[in-house]
Amino acid sequence: MKFSQIKEPVLQKPMMIAAMQDMGDVGSIVIDFINTNLSTSVFREVLPSYPAYVIDNGGYIDLPEEKWEYRSGKDTIVFGGGSGQPSSTEELNVLCQDVINVAKKYSTRFIYTLGGFHTRKPIGKEPQTFVTTTSLEMTEQVRKLGIATTPEASIITGFNGLILGFAKMNGIQGIGLYAELNDPKIPQYRSAKSIIKTLEKLTYQKLGNTSDLDVMADEVESKTRESID
């Protein structure tokens, strides 16, 4: 992987929000939303060593222009988004360690990650967000805020789970937020909204107006119904 430092942001013990594309594009939707509403700017980029896929344009292929960005806003580092994750476990581990190195460099004490929580239970228009943390003590604090924690033991794969393990190994507190979704193959804007609202509750700060997410969710659901009919 190729890491490029573009500039040095001025930050004082920022929180970090780090997530990559996953089921229902939830990670990318939330990261893009936060970057837009906090007016963040790029200070570091990551390029993969090899493409994980190619794009077939109908008879000829293109290579994806894939990269992941570290961006900074007021006392906040935002990492991730993009259109995929590293193609190998080795590169995923290297990337997670780089995120931790950046967190330590700027004295980050808290890392939030997020993603989808696939369920067969019909969720309608109000999916719930479940939280898991890097310590039992922190989980108890989260429950006192009235926020639901993950209902059962499970394995969380990919960046949006593994980064919590890297945070714990390096003495950094972390919280993962995972919103219910039924269909992981289509963008889940309502799940993203649920995560944003929960993240606001955890961080005691407003991240932006989510009404556009409702509009995009309605559009996706309308197109889905049309394709079924």
pLDDT on residue 157: 82
Is residue 2, in this structure, part of any structural domain at all? no
Question: pTM for this structure?
Answer: 0.91
The enclosing domain of 23 has a CATH number of 3.40.50.10900
Is residue 91, in this structure, part of any structural domain at all? yes
pLDDT in tens, 79-121: 998 778 887 899 999 999 999 999 999 999 899 999 999 999 8
pLDDT on residue 100: 97
**Low-confidence stretches of the chain (pLDDT beneath 70):** 226-229
Domain, as residue range, for 133: 8-224
Number of domains making up the chain? 1
> What does the alpha-carbon distance between residue 186 and residue 143 come to, in Å, rounded to a whole number?
31
pLDDT on residue 227: 65
